[in-house]
Structure 1
């Protein structure tokens, strides 16, 4: 079957098998920030935006994305760059494996709620696998970023 998606702003068409997962389609088209972690929709490493909503690409058939807009971290560099430095400044990117999924979910949080409480931030982080830092660095990075934004983007 043939599908067509807008992948990171570029129309992408391909013949796929009906059982192909969206994660496989995305990776076949060069978006390697999207990773496999658990294969059970529990780790957040495969998070992408489908029509601007975060979804787990390991549990979605590529055919369901036909006609949709799909954004990965590669397509959100402008939005991710500023925030990513706050995560790095906290040493929360030790191995880096969880960073793309973590950043995608943080962007989803910021879009949905520009001024989340610490508890709301923790709710967004709990669906993301991180084996190195125990989430404290990510939490501090998000809190620092939000404070930075409140000050108008001035350090």
Structure 2
């Protein structure tokens, strides 16, 4: 099974971090892992051109609606921050509530570190948990802009 990186939040639901599905492993293996970990929704932070280039099978599954769970697309450029910061922070708070309600969420960008770590850090902050939990799971903000976004929550 693909080892999604779990952020140890002590919530009813689980927050997992990963690279883009199908980029580093066969997409079918990733789908199997999604089912085995009972992931309810995938949060994709990639731009469409990244999806098409780095994991065309995943991009096709998104377009065809054949993912094994709900998919939420909030594209952010690599090493960037969202254009609509308020919408992003609102989503982070909503995801925090969903985790408390028992939902299992997988967040990914291309490598599963910077953009993924930024959203995971915002979710963790909304839960009043330490950011070290995200770092321990292999995610982190990589730029000053990303760190400022987290601090603004």
Higher RCO, 1 vs 2 (CA within 8 Å, ≥6 residues apart): 2
Same fold (TM > 0.5): no
Greater radius of gyration (CA): 1
TM-score, with length taken from structure 2? 0.30
TM-score, with length taken from structure 1? 0.30
